[in-house]
């Protein structure tokens, strides 16, 4: 058992004592995300970072609690993905407002956010439609489709950018630009994988 799995078990055991159902933990992650959006809207980068990290902690708790209480369900998995997308969109929308008065880097700042959102949405969409249309349905192939840059890598890099942005705001913009390139590269990688497997 890996250290990550051991940590998840301890996390699940700890928070399962509160008696809060996993799906409620999932829903609760929206509250700090809304607070984080509000902080970014009002140009408070550090507070926004803290609230979005808290939202991700809640998201981690729901899965850990579900596993240790043996209450993993298809509905829970569905809600988890849907609310993750809401949290992620609140994050990007908050950054859009935060960047509006910052100096530009290569192109208008709002375009970086638009292309970032496009790539972030395309990554899970490609996998879902490849499965839905019967092009790639094997679970092992789904794992290989994950590519070089999934949500977790995206979140960690963006949070690092926010932290650096507390010292120099341009570093946040540079990390957003890098993340935008990486997510769209990852989306293209998935498309090529599907085409190559079925060509």
Query: 14 phi and psi, to 5 degrees?
Result: -65, -50
In angstroms, the Cα distances linking 193 to 126, 132, 184 are: 10, 16, 14
DSSP-based three-state secondary structure for 105: strand
Indicate the SS3 state at residue 107. strand
Q: Can you give the pTM of this predicted structure?
A: 0.78
User: What region does 43 belong to: left with phi over 0, alpha with psi -120 to 50, or beta?
Assistant: left
pLDDT tens series, the chain, 199 aa: 556 555 666 666 666 656 667 677 778 888 999 999 999 999 999 999 999 998 888 887 777 777 766 666 677 778 778 888 888 889 999 999 998 888 888 888 889 999 988 888 887 777 776 766 666 656 566 555 555 566 677 788 888 888 998 898 889 999 999 999 988 888 888 877 777 766 5
**Superfamily holding 1-84:** CDP-alcohol phosphotransferase transmembrane (TM) domain (1.20.120.1760)
Mapping DSSP to helix (H, G, I), strand (E, B) and coil, where does residue 17 land? coil
β-sheet bridge partners, residue 107: 105
């Amino acid at each position: 058992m890996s250290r990550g799995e051991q940590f998840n078990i301890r996390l699940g055991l700890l928070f399962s004592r509160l008696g809060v159902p996993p799906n409620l933990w999932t829903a609760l992650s929206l509250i700090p995300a809304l607070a984080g959006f509000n902080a970014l809207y009002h140009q408070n980068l550090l507070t926004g970072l803290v609230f979005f990290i808290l939202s991700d902690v809640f998201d981690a708790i729901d899965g850990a609690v579900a596993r240790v209480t043996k209450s993993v369900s298809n509905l829970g998995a569905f809600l988890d993905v849907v609310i993750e997308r809401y949290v992620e969109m609140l994050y990007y929308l908050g950054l859009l407002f935060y960047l509006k008065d910052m100096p530009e880097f290569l192109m208008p700042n709002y375009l970086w956010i638009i292309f970032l959102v496009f790539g972030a949405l395309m990554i899970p969409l490609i996998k879902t439609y490849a499965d839905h249309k019967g092009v790639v349905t094997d679970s092992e192939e789904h794992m290989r489709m994950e590519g070089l840059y999934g949500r977790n890598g995206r979140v960690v890099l963006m949070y690092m950018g926010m932290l650096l942005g507390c010292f120099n705001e341009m570093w946040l913009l540079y990390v957003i630009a890098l993340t935008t390139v990486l997510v769209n590269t990852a989306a293209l990688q998935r498309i090529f994988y599907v085409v190559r497997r079925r060509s």
